[in-house]
Amino acid sequence: MFEKSRRKIILSIMGSLILLFVVTLSVIVLENRREIGHNNQMLLERYADLYALELNPVKEASQQPGRKPAVEEGPDFQLSTFYSVALDKDGSVLAVNTGDKNLYSEEELTGIAKDLVNGSRSSGNYGNLAFLIRDKGGYMLAAFIDTTVTETGMSILLRIILIVGGSAMVVLFFLSLILSKRIIRPLEENDSRQKRFISDASHELKTPVAVIGANAELLSREVGENEWLANIQYENDRMGALVTQLLDLSRAENAGTVMERVDLSRIVEGEVLAQESIAFEKGKQIREQIAEGILLMGNPVQLTQLVSVLIDNAIRHSTGSEIDLHLNRQGHNAVLTVENDGEEIPLAEQAHLFDRFYRLDEARSSEEGHYGLGLSIAKAVADNHGGTIQVSCQDQRIRFTVILQSCFNLSSIQ
């Protein structure tokens, strides 16, 4: 139980951190790309404003030797690499600026420009080029800015973030292992003390309950029928039943229980046979379908108790006359289901059915000598055998399903 809780804590911590990391990384990358794209478009807008066909390229118009540009441009504009292609209305090339780096030939730029001018977009990205299409009156201008440096910078930034973030996640995973142990430790200690208290108290109560019962029996023989003595015997019997259930729960929760090879099919058949008379007295019938030769490693006493609890629970709470019990083999697991008619159990209460001392009908259960420990015992037995127990409700039918692991066929071991 606590190991599952620990895994949930680790998954919660790591899931939250991974989600936070992914969201943060996505925001950083998207915001950077948006900002870079916006800045590139502003530079292209400025380039297009300064561009004049008769003074092509821009460098000649704004930075001719001996002349200062009309407007002082920032370093980002001056250090950027621009390309441009001017086309007339018929698509003929008027001028091509391949920039200072000559990374793209005139033919490449011309081909790209014609595709973009004939396209539907007036701005955007084309490979490692950000582009802007501007109608300059008598001709169309396709302006480009090289984004290779910024793309390379973004790739390096992303790689560094992933490496640092991945390393941080590994460190945080091991840290979450340590933290989960510290979080769970007080709960484990509290649960251990509670189990020890139940066990010790049950053993201590067993003797005085037996003595009170014996003395009450002797007194009844001497004084005959007596209302007060009858009450003492009744309450003592209830106390004895409670002590017995507490001891059963303590034994079921003992992880050191001795396991042996048992025939679960015979155990279930025996319990069905034992409970049939009780079911008959209450006007109910047990319809069983039990596969033969289902063996597993377990404790026969505890498994008998598990089956008994589920059948007894169905008999007491069934609103119909028929109880269906099935035991079959699914892969390497044994699956036991007990199903009966009954009132719908709300989901909020289903989660507490296996809690100690939890009862749906407080008054009736107390009168019948049941204290909400039966299903707790069943769950403890299932857990102790590495299995699970679940409850489901559908169409006014209540089903308890027990799955026990390490099941094997009788013929496979003979």
> Do 270 and 389 share a domain, yes or no?
yes
Q: What is the mean pLDDT of residues 89-112?
A: 83
pLDDT value for 56: 42
Is 160 a member of any domain?
A: no
pLDDT band at 186 (very low <50, low <70, confident <90, very high): confident
Q: Can you tell me whether residue 361 is helix, strand or coil?
A: coil
In a domain, 161, yes or no: no
Closest CA to 29 of 148, 122, 155: 155
Residues pairing with 129 in the sheet: 126, 146
* pLDDT classification of 61: cutoffs 50, 70, 90: very low
Segment (H or E) for 84: strand 82-87
Name the band, by pLDDT with cuts 50, 70 and 90, for residue 253. Answer: low
Kindly state the percentage of the chain with pLDDT values over 90.
Answer: 13
- Of 146-155, 201-210, 289-298, the one with minimum mean pLDDT is 201-210
End-to-end, the C-alpha distance of the chain in Å comes to 35
Higher per-residue confidence, 77 vs 126: 126
Assess whether pLDDT exceeds 70 at residue 37: yes
The answer on 264 and 128 residing in a single domain is no
> What's the CATH code of the domain at 380?
3.30.565.10
Residue 247 covered by a domain: no
Query: Is a pLDDT exceeding 90 seen at residue 324?
Result: yes
Within-domain flag for 316: yes
User: Does 384 share its domain with 261?
Assistant: yes
Average pLDDT over residues 93-111: 83
Q: Which of 90-99, 254-263, 307-316 has the highest mean pLDDT?
A: 307-316
Q: Kindly state whether residue 384 falls inside one of the protein's structural domains.
A: yes
Domain boundary among the residues 104, 124, 152 is at 152
Taking 90 as the threshold, does the pLDDT of residue 403 lie above it? Answer: yes
Question: Which CATH number belongs to the domain containing residue 126 in this structure?
Answer: 3.40.1840.10
Distance CA 164, CA 172 (A): 12
Backbone φ, ψ for residue 296 (5° rounding): -155, 165
> Which residues, other chains included, contact 155 with Cβ-Cβ below 8 Å and sequence gap of 6+?
none
* Domain with 41 in it: 2-152
Q: Answer whether residue 207 is part of any domain.
A: no
Domain count, the chain: 2
Which conformational region is residue 357 in: left (phi greater than 0), alpha (psi within -120 to 50 degrees), or beta?
Answer: left
Q: What is the rounded distance in angstroms from the CA atom of residue 39 to the CA atom of residue 45?
A: 10
Claim to verify: residue 123 and residue 261 sit in the same structural domain: no
More confident residue, 324 or 80: 324
Query: What integer pLDDT is reported at residue 408 of this predicted model?
Result: 55
The torsion defined by the Cα of 184, 190, 194 and 200, in degrees rounded to 10, comes to 120
Alpha-carbon 356 to chain mean position = 26
> Residue 250: pLDDT above 90?
no
Question: Does 266 lie in the same domain as 400?
Answer: yes
pLDDT of 266: 93
Q: Are residues 271 and 146 in the same domain?
A: no
pTM: predicted TM-score of the whole model, two decimal places: 0.53
Q: Pairing between strand 82-87 and 93-97?
A: antiparallel
